[in-house]
Amino acid sequence: MTAGPMVTVTVYGAYGHTGRFVVAQLRERGFVPVLSGRDAGKLKMLAAASGSESDVRPAAVGDPASLDRALAGAAAVINCAGPFAVTAAPVIEAALRAEIPYVDVAAEIEANSDTFTHFTDRARAAGTPIVPAMAFYGGLGDLLTTAAMGDWTEADEAHIAYGLSSWHPTAGTRAAGAVSRQRRDGQGIRYTKGRLEYHQDVPQTLQWPFPDPMGPRDVIAEFTMADVVTVPSHLPIPEVRTYMAVEAARDLSASDTPAPTPADAHGRSAQTFLVDAVVRSHGRERRAVATGRDIYAVTAPLAVEATDRILTGRTRTTGVASAGDIFDAPDFLRALSPHITFHLHPQRTDHTPATPSAVPTH
């Protein structure tokens, strides 16, 4: 089931690295993308490069009237323009005025938290779906954690480990990271005892037992991603922890790591990933795993599949909701093939936990 041909979806930030993948995926799925963003020149260049007729509608987040024009007649809007601390609220406001669903690909913890804090009541009252972090970070981890939970109604802990072969950040990733660090005053952040907590602890390195084909690999513990907002928004889990492969963390922290470069006909980089989500409850463990290629490119099928499901009524709630809350998580993950390979692993009840519980390796 799809939303049908000629359904228009506005993509704000269409000419950005991730935005281009989203525009291409919309076209592949039969949607008609409306190209929007702050830079009219870049929008026109993108339209010319696409080789097809494209509706170009420049808009600035500081100009509500221009956003209204960008969303006019669209069935939904996908926001790909960071930093989302700047763009999310104005574009959500425009979506509420237009009475259309909003999806974004924000990986910024604070921006996602703001969306839940400031728009939950209004979006629910309006009956308008607003799905933040519908991306590799935040969305995929939430879907995997929800799928791993299965029929459990609560858990003691959730652990989401990111096994990235590398991480070549885009300019948008670097800009968003700078905004987040400024908002935190350089502090770290974690989700513990049922709330977000700021801290100044030195990051630790652990060995994470990734399943095949990756195998055990060193990770940075409490390398906190948007999952600490999305997962607790609907699952009663007091401890949510995320981990990042050491190699990828080093790439991200290095100022001279280049942006991703295309390595195939679809424009994807050569980067591969394995995301391992483990939930624990009373000595039992469940696990869900996803593998794929290029964390930026794979965000496009995540966001577009979400948009399609919203427009065709395949949702479980409305208002502000994370991916695992609004969608059937296992069904959604299976629908992402061939972009993502998804596996659920049998429940463990022995005393050899899949998650690391030992002293740091370094």
pLDDT in tens, 283-327: 999 999 999 999 999 999 999 999 999 999 999 999 999 999 999
- Residue 76 and residue 33 share a domain: yes
Q: Are residues 64 and 144 in the same domain?
A: no
pLDDT at residue 146, rounded to an integer: 98
The total of other beta-carbon atoms located within 10 Å of residue 124's CB is 16
User: Is residue 340 in some structural domain?
Assistant: yes
Q: Are residues 167 and 257 in the same domain?
A: yes
Q: What is the predicted pLDDT for the residue at 97?
A: 98
Looking at the fold, whether 159 and 201 belong to one and the same domain comes out as yes
Where is average pLDDT lowest: 84-88, 176-180, 266-270?
A: 176-180
User: For 205-218, what is the HEC assignment?
Assistant: EEEECCCCCCCCEE
Q: Supply angle C-alpha 269, 189, 135, rounded to 5.
A: 35
What is the model's pLDDT at position 250? 97
Q: How far from 259 is each of 54, 172, 252, 270, CA to CA, in Å? A: 27, 10, 10, 12
Model pLDDT, residue 51: 74
- Is 143's pLDDT higher than 50? yes
- Is the pLDDT assigned to residue 68 strictly greater than 80? yes
Q: What is the pTM of this model?
A: 0.95
Distance of CA 145 to the CA centre of its chain: 13
Same domain, 131 and 146: no
Average pLDDT (168-185) is: 93
Residues 96 and 33 in one domain: yes
Task: Determine the pLDDT at residue 3.
Answer: 74
Same domain for 154 and 108: no
172/166 Cα distance (integer angstroms): 17
Lowest mean pLDDT among 30-34, 76-80, 141-145, 181-185: 181-185
Whether 250 maps to a domain, the answer reads yes
Report yes or no: 141 and 277 within 8 Å, Cβ to Cβ: yes
Torsion of CA 306, 321, 288, 25, to 10 degrees: 20
Mark whether 27 and 124 lie in a shared domain: yes
The pLDDT of 176-200, averaged and rounded, is: 93
The pLDDT > 70 percentage for the chain reads 96
Segment 29-57 mean pLDDT = 93
- Residue 152, helix vs strand vs coil: coil
The tokens describing 174, both together, are 């670097």
- Answer yes or no: is pLDDT of 84 > 80: yes
Q: How many domains does the chain have?
A: 2
CATH number for the domain that contains residue 96: 3.40.50.720
What local confidence, expressed as pLDDT, does residue 352 receive? 46
At residue 354, the pLDDT reads 54
Using an 8 Å Cβ cutoff, are 251 and 329 in contact? no
**For residue 18, what pLDDT band results from cuts at 50, 70 and 90?**
very high
Same domain assignment for residues 180 and 284: yes
Helices 17-28 and 40-50, axial angle in degrees (round to 10): 40
**Residue 323 to residue 236: CA distance in whole angstroms:** 15
251's enclosing H/E stretch is helix 246-253
Residue 362 located in a structural domain: no
Q: Is the pLDDT of residue 132 over 80?
A: yes
Q: Would you state the torsion angle of the CA atoms of residues 70, 74, 76, 81, taken in this order, to the nearest 10 degrees? A: -20
Residue range 48-72: mean pLDDT, rounded: 93
314 and 191 within one domain: no
Whether residue 309 is found in the same domain as residue 282: no
The Cα–Cα gap between 102 and 82 comes to 15
| Partners of 345 in beta bridges | 287
pLDDT for 359 equals 35
Q: What does the pLDDT average to over 250-277? A: 97
Domain range spanning residue 68? 8-135+300-324
pLDDT of amino acid 300: 98
Does 231 map to a domain?
A: yes
**Average predicted confidence (pLDDT) for the chain:** 94
- Does residue 154 lie in a domain region? yes
Q: What is the pLDDT of residue 225?
A: 97
CB atoms within 10 A of CB 8: 16
Give the tokens for residue 256. Answer: 């001279």
